[in-house]
Amino acid sequence: MTVRVGESANAPSFPKAALPLLDDAQLRKNVRHATDVIQHKRAIVVAEQKDWQQLRDAASAIKEHTLRHLDHYLLEFEAKCTAAGGQVHWAADADEANHIIIGLVQQYNSKEVIKIKTMTSDETRLNEALQEASIHPYETDLAELIIQLGHDKPSHIVVPALHKNRMQVREIFQQSMGLPNLGDKPEDLTAAARNYLREKFLRVKVGVSGANFLIAETGGVCIVESEGNGRMCLTLPDALITVAGIEKVIPAFRDLDTFLQLLPRSATGERMNPYNSIWTGVHPGDGPKHFHVVLLDNGRTNILADAEARQTLNCIRCGACLNTCPVYRQTGGHAYGSSYAGPIGAIFTPQVLGMEHGQSLPYASSLCGACYEVCPVKINIPEVLIHLRGRVVREKQSAANLEAIGMKAMAAIFKSARRFEAAQRLGRIGQWPVVSDGWVKHLPGLMGNWTAVRDLRAIPQQSFRDWWRTRKKESGQ
Ligand code: SF4
C-alpha cells in the first residue's frame, strides 16, 4: 500500500520546515499580498449573498449524508458513468492510480498528456510516475505551468504559485521558454503561456483531469476553472482520464446549485467561475472518444471510519481556510510537506498518511477558529485538530519517551488530593531559584521550551485550599 500526499511521508516536521521560510521576506510578502487580495474579494461577494449561512448548512448536510452512504453513491456513479460510455477504475492507493493512468496512456499510444490542475494527481505524484514511464505531462493551468517550468512545488491548493510574484514568473518564462525580452505585465505573461500551450492543446491526444464533483445521479463529472485551459483539455483530446478522490461524489445534479454558489465565492472571490464544465460519458462526434474515471481511496476510507474526523472529507478544496489562517499566512504552503497546505492540510495529511507521519501538523495552528468561520462546508477544523492532537499524544504514550513519562506522572498527581498538595509543597520549595516578581522566569532542561514562549505564574505561598482550612479553623467551624 503506497499512501501518499504529494511529498514523501518522511517530510521534515512543520517547525523545522517553516524556519527557513520565515526568513524569506519576499516569499512572505508575496503570500500575504495574494491572500489579502483573495480574502478582500471573498468578503465582498459573500456579504452580498444573504443566505450564505443557509447555503453552508445545506452543503454541510449534503456532504454528511453522502459520506454516510458513500458506498451507495459511488456504485451509483459507476453504474451511470458506465451506462453513458465511460469506464470506471478503482485505485486503493497512489501507486495503483498512477499505474492505471500510465497503462491507459500507453494503450492510446501517447508519449504525452495535457493536464488540467488536479490536486489529486499532485497527491499521487502522477507527473513523476509518468516521466519515469517516458510520458511527458504538460500542465496547462497557468499557476501549475509556472510551478512545472520553475521546478517548484505548489504552495496553495487553489493558486499553486501564490508564493511567486510577476517578476519571478517572468524570469521562469524567460529561461524555460527562451524569451529573453519578455515583459512583466500580466498580459505579456499570459500571452507567452498561451503561445506555449496552444500547440500542445492541438497536438496531444490524451488529457488528464481532476474533478470538483462526481454526480452519482447522472454519472457526470464537473470541473470549475477560470482560464479555459480545462475546457480545451476536456474537449480536444481523443481520450480523457479523470482522477478523483472517492469523497468527490455528490448525490444529485441539483446539489450543484448549492456548491456552485459556495465554491467560486470562497475560492477566488468570484460570483461564478468563468468556466463550468460538466461531461457525462462519451458522445459520438463531440469531445473525447474514450473516457475513464479513476476513483482513488489513498487513505480516505480510514478517515471515513473515524466519526470525529470524518468531516475532513467534506472539503471542496476552496482554499479559504488557507487564506485566513494566521499560521499559513506567515509560512506559506511549503512548510506543510504535502500537496495540501494550511488548515485543511494540517488535518488531511496526518490522517491519510497515518499518525506516525505528519505528527507536527495538528499543532501548526493557533486554534483561533478563523478557518471554521470561512469554511463553506462548515468543517470544524479546530475540533478535528484537537481530536488529532489527542491521537498524537495517545500514540506517543504507547512509546516510552520523556513526555509520556512526564504526563503519566502528572496524571497520578492530579488523581489524588494528597499527592497534589504534596507536589504543591515541593514545588513551592523548589521554585525559588527561577521565580521573580511572582512569575517563573524559566524552567530548567526540556521544560525550558515551555516557559520560553509562555508566561507561568509561580505557585502561591498559600493555596486556596490552605486558606480555606485556616479560615475554617479560625472561625471554629
Ligand atoms: S477545509 Fe473548508 S475552507 Fe478549507 S479548503 Fe476545504 S472547503 Fe475550503
- Taking only the tens place, the pLDDT of each residue in 302-360 is 999 999 999 999 999 999 999 999 999 999 999 999 999 999 999 999 999 877 678 89
**pLDDT tens by residue, 134-151:** 999 999 999 999 999 999
CA of 13 to the centre of ligand 1 (A): 23
Whether pLDDT at 78 is above 70: yes
| Mutate which of 55, 311, 323, 377 for ligand 1 pocket (most atoms within 8 A of beta carbon) | 377
CA dihedral 79, 82, 87, 90 (to 10 degrees): 0
**With 80 as the cut, is the pLDDT of residue 174 above it?**
yes
The pLDDT-based confidence of 170 (bands split at 50, 70, 90) is: very high
pLDDT digits (tens, 9 = 90+) for 420-462: 999 998 988 888 888 888 898 888 877 787 788 788 889 988 8
398 — pLDDT class (breaks 50, 70, 90) = low
Express as a percent the part of the chain with pLDDT over 70. 98
Q: Ligand 1 pocket, 294 CB below 6 A? A: no
314 assigned to some structural domain: no
Whether the CB of 385 sits within 6 Å of ligand 1: no
Choosing from 162, 258, 315 the residue with most ligand 1 atoms within 8 A of its CB, the one to mutate for a pocket test is 315
For ligand 1, say whether the CB of 318 is within 6 Å of any of its atoms: yes
| pLDDT for position 74 | 98
CA of 319, closest atom in ligand 1:
5
As to burial, measured by CB atoms within 10 angstroms (0-12 exposed, 13-18 middle, 19+ buried), residue 126 is buried
Q: Which of 318, 329, 371 to mutate to test the pocket of ligand 1 (most atoms within 8 A of CB)?
A: 318
Q: Which of 248, 238, 298 is nearest to 97 (CA)?
A: 298
Choose one of 301, 321, 343: the last residue of a domain. 301
Whole-angstrom Cα distance, residue 97 to residue 129? 10
What confidence tier does 371 reach under pLDDT thresholds 50, 70, 90? very high
Q: Do 35 and 150 belong together in one domain? A: yes
Same domain, yes or no, for 275 and 424? no
The answer to whether the CB of 154 falls within 8 A of the CB of 277 is no
82 occurs within a structural domain: yes
Averaged pLDDT for residues 12-23: 92
3-state SS, residue 244? strand
Closest Cα to residue 331, out of 455, 155, 450, 178? Answer: 155
Rg (CA), the chain: 26
Indicate if ligand 1 lies below 6 Å from the C-beta of 337.
no
pLDDT over threshold 80, residue 402: no
> Is 192 a domain residue?
yes
Ligand 1 site, residue 317, Cβ cutoff 6 A: yes
Assign residue 89 the CATH number of its domain.
3.40.50.10420
Of 75-89, 265-279, 314-328, 383-397, the poorest mean pLDDT is in 383-397
Q: Is residue 273 in a domain? A: yes
Grid coordinates representing 169 are 514568473
Nearest to 135 by CA among 227, 205, 229: 205
Which three cell numbers mark 363? 499543532
297 and 406 in a single domain? The answer is no
Calculate mean pLDDT across residues 233-243: 97
Cβ of 269 below 6 Å from ligand 1: no
Of 286, 301, 316, which residue constitutes the final position of a domain? 301
Q: Are 93 and 115 in contact (CB under 8 A)?
A: no
Considering its fold, how many domains does the chain have in total? 2
The whole-number pLDDT of residue 194 equals 95
- Per the domain annotation, does 30 fall within a domain? yes
For residues 52 and 43, what is the distance between their CA atoms, to the nearest angstrom?
Answer: 11
Confidence of residue 94 (pLDDT cuts 50, 70, 90): very high
Report whether pLDDT(27) > 90.
yes
- Determine whether the shortest distance from the Cβ of 208 to ligand 1 is under 6 A: no
246: in domain: yes
Given this model, what pLDDT does residue 433 score? 84
Judge if the beta carbon of residue 315 lies within 6 A of ligand 1: yes
Residue 321 belongs to some domain of the structure: no
Atom of ligand 1 nearest to the CA of 347: 1
Q: Is 347 in the pocket of ligand 1 (CB under 6 A)?
A: no
321 in ligand 1 pocket by Cβ < 6 Å? yes
Q: Name the residue with the closest Cα to ligand 1, atom 3.
A: 375
pLDDT of residue 8: 67
**CB 67 near ligand 1, within 6 Å:** no
- Structural domain containing residue 73: 8-301
For residue 312, the ligand 1 atom closest to its alpha carbon is 1
User: What is the spatial distance between Cα 352 and Cα 362, in angstroms, rounded to a whole number?
Assistant: 13
Instruction: Pick the residue whose CA is nearest to atom 4 on ligand 1.
Output: 321
In this structure, are residues 140 and 201 in contact, taking their beta carbons and an 8 Å threshold? yes
- Pairing relationship of beta strands 112-115 and 249-250 according to DSSP bridges: unpaired
Contacts (Cβ under 8 Å, ≥6 apart) of 385:
343, 346, 347, 362, 365, 367
Q: Is 462 helix (H, G, I), strand (E, B) or coil?
A: coil
Could you give the CA distance from residue 290 to residue 98 in angstroms, rounded to a whole number? 18
User: What integer is the mean pLDDT of 246-267?
Assistant: 98
Domain limit, last residue, from 272, 301, 330: 301
Closest ligand 1 atom to residue 157 Cα is 5
The reply to whether ligand 1 has any atom less than 6 angstroms from the CB of 382 is no
Assess whether the C-beta atom of 344 lies below 6 angstroms from ligand 1: yes
- Average pLDDT score over the chain: 93
Residue whose C-alpha is closest to residue 291's, from 303, 283, 282: 282
38 close to ligand 1 (CB < 6 Angstrom) = no
Ligand 1 probe mutation, 375, 380, 381, 383, most atoms within 8 A of CB = 375
Query: So what's the pLDDT on residue 149?
Result: 97
- What is the reported pTM? 0.87
Residue 400 confidence (pLDDT): 64
Q: Name which residue sits closest to atom 6 of ligand 1, judged by CA.
A: 315
User: Does pLDDT of 403 surpass 80?
Assistant: no
Is residue 228 in a domain?
A: yes
CB within 8 A of 396, min separation 6: which ones?
403, 404
Q: How many CB atoms lie within 10 A of CB 134?
A: 9
Q: Which atom of ligand 1 is nearest to the CA of 318?
A: 8
